[in-house]
Structure 1
Amino acid sequence: MKKIILTGGGSAGHVTPNLALVPKLRKLGYEIEYIGTKNGIERKIIESENIKYNIISSGKLRRYFDVKNFTDPFKVLKGVIQAFFIMKKEKPNIVFSKGGFVSVPVVIAAYLSRIPVIAHESDITPGLANRISASYCNKICVTFPESLNKIKDKKGVLTGTPIREEILNGSKIIGRRICDFRDNKPVLLIIGGSLGSKFINDMVRNSLDKLLQKYNVVHICGKGNLDSALLKKTGYIQFEYINEEMPHIMNFADIVISRAGANAIFELLALKKPNILIPLSKKSSRGDQILNAASFEKSGYSMVLPEDTLNLDLLVNKVDELYNCRNEYINKMNKSNIDNGVDKIINIINKYSIK
Structure 2
Amino acid sequence: MKILVSGGGTGGHIYPALAFIKEVKKHHPNAEFLYIGTKNGLESSIVQRTGGIPFKAIEITGFKRSLSFDNVKTIMRFLRGTSVSKKYIKDFQPDVVLGTGGYVCGPVVYAAAKLKVPTIIHEQNSVPGLTNKFLSKYVDKVALCFEEAGEFFPKNKSILTGNPRASEVMGHDGKEGRESLNLDPTKKVVLIVGGSRGAKPINDAFLDVLPEVTKKEYQVLYVTGEVHYDKVVKEVNKLSNPSNVIIKPFIYNMPQVLAGIDLIVARAGATTLAEITALGIPSILIPSPYVTNNHQEKNARSLGDKGASIVRLEKEFSGNVLLKDIDHVLLNEDILKDMKLASKKLGIPDAAQKLYQLMDQLIKQRT
Scaled by the length of structure 2, the TM-score of the pair is 0.85
Identity of aligned residues (%): 30
- Per-residue Cα deviation, 1:79-138 (whole angstroms, up to 9, x for no partner): 222222211211111111111112112112212322121011122222222012112211
Higher mean C-alpha displacement, 118-127 vs 178-187: 178-187
CA distance in 2, matches of 1:237, 1:104: 40
Q: Counterparts of 1:33-44 in structure 2 under 5 Å?
A: 33-44=34-45
CA distance in 2, matches of 1:24, 1:101: 24
Shift of residue 352, structure 1, vs aligned partner: 2.0
CA distance in 2, matches of 1:91, 1:322: 52
From the superposition, tell whether residues 333 and 178 of structure 1 become closer, same or farther in structure 2 (CA, over 3 Å): same
- Per-residue Cα deviation, 1:275-299 (whole angstroms, up to 9, x for no partner): 1011123x64312222222221121
Q: Tell me, which stretches of 5 or more residues in structure 2 are unaligned?
A: none
Matched, 1:300 2:299: no
SS in structure 1 opposite 2:206?
Answer: helix
CA distance in 2, matches of 1:221, 1:43: 26
Q: Counterparts of 1:40-79 in structure 2 under 5 Å?
A: 40-50=41-51, 51-64=53-66, 68-79=70-81
The aligned residue for residue 336 of structure 2 is 326
CA distance in 1, matches of 2:133, 2:229: 39
The aligned residue for residue 221 of structure 2 is 218
SS in structure 2 opposite 1:125?
Answer: coil
From the superposition, tell whether residues 203 and 58 of structure 1 become closer, same or farther in structure 2 (CA, over 3 Å): farther
CA distance in 2, matches of 1:201, 1:68: 36
Q: Counterparts of 1:98-109 in structure 2 under 5 Å?
A: 98-109=100-111
SS in structure 2 opposite 1:226?
Answer: helix
Shift of residue 323, structure 1, vs aligned partner: 1.3
Counterpart among 268, 290, 293 of residue 260 in structure 1: 268
CA distance in 2, matches of 1:307, 1:184: 32
CA distance in 2, matches of 1:336, 1:113: 37
The aligned residue for residue 250 of structure 1 is 258
Task: Note if contact 1:190-1:220 (Cα within 8 Å) is conserved in structure 2.
Answer: yes
Letter of the 1:59 partner, please give it.
T
Task: Note if contact 1:221-1:238 (Cα within 8 Å) is conserved in structure 2.
Answer: yes
Matched, 1:190 2:192: yes
Task: Note if contact 1:254-1:273 (Cα within 8 Å) is conserved in structure 2.
Answer: yes
Counterpart among 159, 170, 174 of residue 176 in structure 2: 174
Q: Tell me, which stretches of 5 or more residues in structure 1 are unaligned?
A: none
Task: Note if contact 1:142-1:157 (Cα within 8 Å) is conserved in structure 2.
Answer: yes
The aligned residue for residue 309 of structure 1 is 316
Shift of residue 182, structure 1, vs aligned partner: 7.4
SS in structure 1 opposite 2:103?
Answer: coil
CA distance in 1, matches of 2:299, 2:100: 17
Letter of the 1:5 partner, please give it.
L
CA distance in 2, matches of 1:60, 1:251: 37
Letter of the 1:315 partner, please give it.
L
- Per-residue Cα deviation, 1:221-264 (whole angstroms, up to 9, x for no partner): 44x52331334633232234x45x11112122221012122221
Letter of the 1:104 partner, please give it.
G
Higher mean C-alpha displacement, 63-72 vs 141-150: 63-72
CA distance in 1, matches of 2:84, 2:152: 31
Q: How many residues align?
A: 350
Letter of the 1:45 partner, please give it.
I
CA distance in 1, matches of 2:205, 2:11: 23
- Runs of 4+ residues over 6 Å off in structure 1: none
CA distance in 1, matches of 2:324, 2:115: 56
Shift of residue 335, structure 1, vs aligned partner: 4.7
Higher mean C-alpha displacement, 246-255 vs 161-170: 161-170
- Per-residue Cα deviation, 1:276-327 (whole angstroms, up to 9, x for no partner): 011123x643122222222211211111111222222111111111212322
From the superposition, tell whether residues 337 and 210 of structure 1 become closer, same or farther in structure 2 (CA, over 3 Å): closer
SS in structure 1 opposite 2:227?
Answer: coil
Larger Rg: 2
Matched, 1:87 2:94: no
The aligned residue for residue 293 of structure 2 is 286
CA distance in 2, matches of 1:179, 1:271: 19
The aligned residue for residue 123 of structure 2 is 121
Letter of the 1:312 partner, please give it.
G
CA distance in 2, matches of 1:78, 1:180: 53
Higher mean C-alpha displacement, 224-233 vs 133-142: 224-233
- Per-residue Cα deviation, 1:143-177 (whole angstroms, up to 9, x for no partner): 22333232136221222222343311233333224
CA distance in 1, matches of 2:67, 2:199: 23
- RMSD (Å), alpha carbons: 2.6
The aligned residue for residue 12 of structure 2 is 13
The aligned residue for residue 238 of structure 1 is 248
Letter of the 2:341 partner, please give it.
N
Higher mean C-alpha displacement, 195-204 vs 88-97: 195-204
